[in-house]
Structures are given as structure tokens and as C-alpha cells.
Amino acid sequence: MTGTARGGAPQTSAQETNGPSKAGTLDSTVQSRFVVPDDAVLALLGSRDENLRVAEELLDADVHVRGNEVTLSGEPGDVAFAERVFAELVTLAGKGQQLGPDAVRRTVAMLSAGAAESPAEVLSLDIVSRRGRTIRPKTLNQKKYVDAIDHHTVVFCIGPAGTGKTYLAMAKAVQALQAKQVNRIILTRPAVEAGERLGFLPGTLYEKIDPYLRPLYDALHDMVDPESIPRLMQAGTIEVAPLAYMRGRAQPVFTKVLTPTGFRPIGELEVGDLVTGSDGLPTPVIGVYPQGPKEIYRLTTQDGASTLCSADHLWAVATRDDRRRGRALRVLETKEMVGRLRAARHHRYELPLLSSPVEFEPRDTPMDPYALGALLGDGCITGSITPSFATADPERGRASSPGAVVTASNPVTTALPELGSSDPMRVPDVYLYNGPDVRVAVLQGLLDAGGDPVTQRDRTCRIEYATSGSPGEDVAFLVRSLGGTVYGRHRNDAHVLDIRLPVGIEPFRLPRKMAKYDASGGGGRPMRYVDSIEPEGTEEAVCIQVAAADSLYVTEDFLVTHNTLNDAFIILDEAQNTSPEQMKMFLTRLGFGSKIVVTGDITQVDLPGGQKSGLRVVQGILEGVDDIHFSVLNSHDVVRHRLVGDIVDAYDKWQADQDARDEVRHSGPRGQARRGR
């Protein structure tokens, strides 16, 4: 017979001979010869011919090697199988891989199992390389697991210890980070050995949890330059934390969150309620997770906006270097920014602003919004006299000369009782919580009356608004709701607001002011930076998840905040030790552009008191759900010492025998009698 060795091996020749079998009877045998390329011979044979000896041990065909010629002889089926084995090994050697006895064993095992995939393809699938060491799957099931990670958003891998579940997931995470498919890696596992009650242990938090996370650190050090790991962790690119500490991305229950009808306490929100996203549009709440008492911080920006949040609440931020290089926003926890808010003289972390004005529900107004703004800007509104305002701009009214008093028409007086404001100098809610056109008109009236464009050399134009009354707070509300920023300061007896508005928002209607504003390039790009983060004690907190594509929502002072894990590769290790509730919490933290890999061994559950394993329960719940895959590894996939696989098999056999005895015991006459009582 004849055959062809793959991977560039020359065609082999076979010669049929007749001779006595080992039992002394006549039988048909065949012989096959082929030549191994010179550059692959040493790799094929191995150090001191160790690969050849393993092949002779595992193959039924006789193997003889002289120089670079290999001769196989024996039964036709045995020779054909040996040809396939050597063809795969020659292919691997031809790719420059260093073969070892383990590769020979796994090649024989895969071909013996009748796998459709080529062992050479399985064993040459490189994932991550560092310092000459390459991480790749070593079994067919491992390759299927790796492929599943590529093709699914959520992958569960269940199998015994030593099968490479976590190691391969870590390699895929590093590969995704290097390829910029994600911008952070999050590694977590439950610390059930201490019941996740770590307070009684001595040392800092990280010293307490380090033993439970050490396997993750060890795998990480094999794949990433150890010297770069502290820098990556400090930047939030890599996060390693016990599962319990992933739950606390939260705000106090009384913290206000913006909704299409106004601000509401976050603790009152329910799944299905609408909040406002970073694009100013409504987005539904898809998860509400009470957190209990949490350590709380107040985050304040340079323009005076502030809100409360937990230490591990998430924020989407950009550094100056990120902006310069055009990088996407990075996601950091509050505690990761503490003590690192300045880079030289500059603020380090810039927060995103609203990309579009907030879309409140449009409502009818009792009077023209621009007229209201103009009256509030420099006039006097009371319920007993006709409103009037002083002007130095003949463009604004029927003034005969600058500084004369302009009297508004009587219908304004008629409309005043409908405004519903207890303070006649405040902008009524019907104007604040209204469509963008109404809010812009009110702001234009206020700024035409009391604001001015201020030009600066080599800089875009800012707007200065001075007031000694109430409208200042409302001006800040209007500006921030439109995607701008406001800085407050005192000058003499007046409160001065420095305003920046985004492109597309015209702050004035007066041609004189608008011309000066445009001549200086407009308002430029408003910017908001984290200025301080200070502890505020402990408060009852809650976490929400929103359906917005960027997972951002608007909280107090129109701050844009983050609360799910976008563009991240998240690995949950030892998942058999999660409760069903923890598993649900973890899976529902999945953000857009992210990938989750969950690994565990359901035969080694350490949960106390017979509590159900979340990994066992989730398989029955999510099996068959689109874009979720379950991979199962077994003793044949063990990549540690060969004895580990044998140990796993021995325990499985023992457990099967125990289960069979229990079944017999319960199904016997006494068992049936007990069940019949």
C-alpha cells in the first residue's frame, strides 16, 4: 500500500509481504517507508530518541528508523494508523515546534478517538507567547473550549483540576487585551475558604485575600511581563479581586439619578424604570442590586459638581494621553483614582459629558421661554406689577435709548400665576424640565440680559454671567443639562458663573454678542475633571444596571457615571463555590463589548451547610440560551502529571460505584417498604 505523510513529508511506499504471524499462522503484513525532511528529524525523534520510544510503545506497528528514513511494518490497519500518527508529528516538527513525549501521546489519543480535527492543527494553535514559551491547547476538548471563547460571549468550562480551564481562559484574556479587543481584564474567584468574612484575618485587605487569588496571579505572571503587572493593575487595565468585592459598585440609596421626568433617588428605582443615558435619551433599568452598608466617597469635579458613590463604583474616564492618542475611555473604580488625581499641574482624569442635551418630556409653557429668561436676567417679576427690565441693548426691546425701561405686555402678568414657582426669581420647573428648545430659549434670554462673551488670547470663548439673585443655580442646571460646564466664583457682591457650552448650542440671540462669540471660535469643548475624592462614612447603597450601549447614566449635577463592565474580559474561577444568587449577580454585570468565562469543578464544592452550587444550578437554567456555551473537560484533558488523570478516573469510578450501591440499597425490599410508609 502507499500513503502520504502530511506537512511536506514525501510520499511513502508500502510493500505487501506474506509471512507467519506471531501465532505461527500465515497472515498478510505490509511495510511502509517514508523520508523525514532533514530539518524535522531531530524534533521528530526527540531528545535521546524519547519520542520514538513512546511511539513504539503506543503503536501496534513496528517502527524502525535509519537516518531520516522511517519504516513501518505490521497489520495493514496498524500501519495505516501509524502513518497517520507520523504524518501529524512530521507536520508539527515542520512548523518548528519542539515535540515531546506528551505531544506523541496526545496525537495518538486524538487519532484513536476518531477526531475529525487534525492533531497538528490542535497542537499548533498558538494563543500567547512570551520569552520563547507558547501557550496552546493540548487536547481536542481544550481546542473546542478555546474556539468557543472566540465564538460566544459567555462560556462555562466545567472539568476536574489540571485540565487547563483557568490557564487557557487567562491566555485568551491576555490575547484579547493585546489585540485591543477589550481594554481591561477582570479576574475573580469566591473566597469561600474564609466564608468571604476576611475581617478576622491579620493584615491589609490585599494581604487577606491574596492566598485565594494566588493561582490567578501565578497564571498572569506566566503570560505578562511581571514588571508591567503593577502598572497595569494601577491603571485599572487588570483587576484581580474576590467575587464579594465585585458587588459593591453602588451609590447611596438617597443619591439622585436623572430620569426623563426629573431627578429621583436611586433607591426608589425598579427594573423597567427609565433613567437618562449619556446621550440624553431615556434608557431602561435592567437590574437593581441592594448592597447593604457600603463605604462611601464624595467625588467632586473642578466645576463644583459632586456625587456620592462606593469605593468600587465605576467611572469612565480619559487621561490627557488617552485623548492625544485617540483611545477609548478607560473604566476605573473610585478607589483606583484616590491619590492619583494630578499629573504634574494638570488634572489626570477627565469625565465624559452629555453627548447631546437631555430629552425631558416636552410640555406647554404659560409664557415665551426667551421672554422669561430675559425678565429673570435683569428685570423684576412680581405678581402685583407689570414686569419690566432695564436694557443697554436697543436690539432687545422697544427702548428709546440705552438704559431705558422696557415694559412687557400685559399677557405676561396674566401668565405669572401659572408658573408655579414660590420664588419669583427662580426658573419654574416647567421650563427646567422641558425639551431642549425650551431650555435653550430660557438660557438665551438669561444670557442676553446678564451674560457676556469673554475672549482670551489663543483660547476659545467662554461666557460670563453675573447675578446677585437666584437664577444662578438655574443657569447652572440649564447649562449642564445641555452638555456644558459651569464654574462659580464671587466678584465683589455678585456671583459670577463662567460657562462653556458645546458646539451647536447658541448662547445668545443678540447679534452683537453672538458675533463676538463666533469670532472667537465659539465655546470650544467643555471639559470636566475629577478634582477630589473624599470619604463620607458609611451608607446603605444600591447598584443599578442600565441598558444603554455604553452603560453610562446621569447622576447628581449631571455627572455621567458608569456601572457595568464594558469592553472587559472577565474570568470567574472556582465558580462551583458560588451560590446561585452570586452567580446571577456576576452574570448580570456583563456589559457591552465584554466576554465572560466561568470555570469550575462541580465535584469539589466547598460551600458550607450543603448550600447549592451556582455552577450546578446555572447549567440547567442557561443551557440552550443563544451565545452561551458549556464546555466539558475530563480526565483525558489533564495537562499536569499523568497520575492526575488516573486519580480523577479512580475517583469517578469510586463515585459511580457508590451511586450504584445507593441505588440498590434504596430500590431493595427494605427501601421500597420505607418509601411505602
Average pLDDT over residues 93-110: 81
The CATH number given to whatever domain includes residue 618 is: 3.40.50.300
Q: Are 245 and 311 in contact (CB under 8 A)?
A: no
Average pLDDT (181-204) is: 62
Residue 199 lies in a domain: yes
Q: What 8-state DSSP symbol labels residue 576?
A: G
Q: Say how many domains are in the chain.
A: 5
**CA pseudo-torsion sign 558, 559, 565, 566:** positive
Give the per-residue pLDDT at 180.
86
- pTM for this predicted structure: 0.61
Angle between helices 38-45 and 50-58 (to 10 degrees): 70
Share of the chain above pLDDT 70, in %: 78
Task: Answer whether residue 131 is part of any domain.
Answer: no
Residue 597's pLDDT band, with cuts at 50, 70 and 90, is: very high
First to last CA, the chain: 71
Cβ-based neighbour number of residue 655 at 10 Å:
11
Does the residue 361 lie in any domain? no
Alpha helices in 609-641 (DSSP H): 614-622
Q: Is the pLDDT of residue 26 over 70?
A: no
Residue 138 belongs to a domain: no
Selected residue with higher pLDDT from 40 and 451:
451
pLDDT of 661 = 76
pLDDT digits (tens, 9 = 90+) for 628-645: 999 999 888 787 566 666
616 CB-contact burial (10 Å; exposed 0-12 / middle 13-18 / buried 19+): middle
Identify whether residues 377 and 486 lie together within a single domain.
yes
> Which is it for strands 628-632 and 154-158: parallel, antiparallel or unpaired?
parallel
The residue behind cell 420664588 is: 423
Q: Please choose, from the candidates 457, 454, 492, 488, the residue with its C-alpha nearest in 3D space to the C-alpha of residue 471.
A: 488
Q: Pick the range with the lowest mean pLDDT from 13-27, 459-473, 506-520.
A: 13-27
340 and 283 within one domain: yes
- If you ran DSSP here, which 8-state letter would residue 360 be given? P
CA gap 247, 311 in Å, rounded: 11
467 inside domain: yes
Q: Which residues contact 323 (CB under 8 A, 6 or more apart)?
A: 350
Q: Which of 129, 253, 233 is nearest to 187 (CA)?
A: 233
What span, in angstroms and rounded, lies between the C-alpha atoms of 167 and 174? Answer: 11
Q: 460: burial class by Cβ within 10 Å (0-12, 13-18, 19+)?
A: middle
d(CA 251, CA 265): 10
15 and 58 assigned to the same domain = yes
**Confidence label for 677 from pLDDT (cuts 50, 70 and 90):** very low
Q: Measured over all CA atoms, what is the biggest interatomic distance in the chain, rounded to whole angstroms?
A: 130
**Are 311 and 431 in a shared domain?**
no
CA distance 81 to 44: 17
In terms of pLDDT, which residue wins out, 213 or 179? 179
125 versus 15: which is more confidently predicted?
Answer: 125
pLDDT in tens, 368-405: 999 999 988 865 554 444 444 444 455 544 433 444 44
Mean pLDDT over each residue of the chain, to the nearest integer: 80
pLDDT tens, residue by residue, 427-486:
999 999 999 999 999 999 999 998 999 887 777 788 999 876 656 789 999 999 999 999
- From 155, 183, 159, select the one nearest 169 (Cα to Cα): 155
Cα 34 to Cα 29: distance, rounded to the nearest angstrom: 17
Mean pLDDT lowest among 12-26, 104-118, 499-513:
12-26
pLDDT computed for residue 286 by the predictor: 81
Does residue 432 form part of some domain?
yes
Residues 336 and 272 in one domain: yes
Same domain, residue pair 379 and 486: yes
* pLDDT at res. 206: 47
Overall average pLDDT of the 196-209 stretch: 45
CATH code where residue 299 lies: 2.170.16.10
Can you point out the beta strands (E) in 268-311? 274-276, 282-301, 306-310
337 and 231 together in one domain: no
Indicate if 494 and 548 belong to the same structural domain.
no
From residue 670, give the alpha-carbon distance in Å to each of 156, 661, 676. Answer: 41, 14, 10
* Residue 632 domain-assigned (yes or no): yes
SS3 category, 163:
coil
Q: Does residue 621 sit in the same domain as residue 664?
A: no
Residue 457 identity (one-letter amino acid): R
Q: What is the CATH number of the domain that holds 49?
A: 3.30.1370.10
Together in a domain, 107 and 16: yes
Question: Region 73-78: what's the mean pLDDT?
Answer: 89
For the cut 50, the answer to whether the pLDDT of residue 521 exceeds it is yes
pLDDT at 307: 96
Tens of pLDDT, residue by residue over 356-365, are 999 999 999 9
User: Residue 390 is part of a domain; what is its CATH number?
Assistant: 3.10.28.10
Asked whether residue 558 falls in the same domain as residue 571, the answer is no
Taking the CA atoms of residue 328, residue 334, residue 335 and residue 340 in that order, the dihedral angle to the nearest 10 degrees is: 60
Same domain? For 30 and 168 the reply is no
- Establish if 362 belongs to a structural domain: no
Domain span at 164:
148-244+567-636
pLDDT at 558 (0 to 100):
96
Residue 298 identity: R
Sequence-separated (6 or more) residues with CB below 8 Å from residue 65: 45, 52, 71
Who wins on pLDDT, 601 or 14?
601
Distance separating alpha carbons of residues 528 and 355, to the nearest angstrom: 13
Whether 571 has a pLDDT exceeding 80, the answer reads yes
Q: Is residue 244 over pLDDT 70?
A: no
Q: Are 583 and 575 in contact (CB under 8 A)?
A: yes
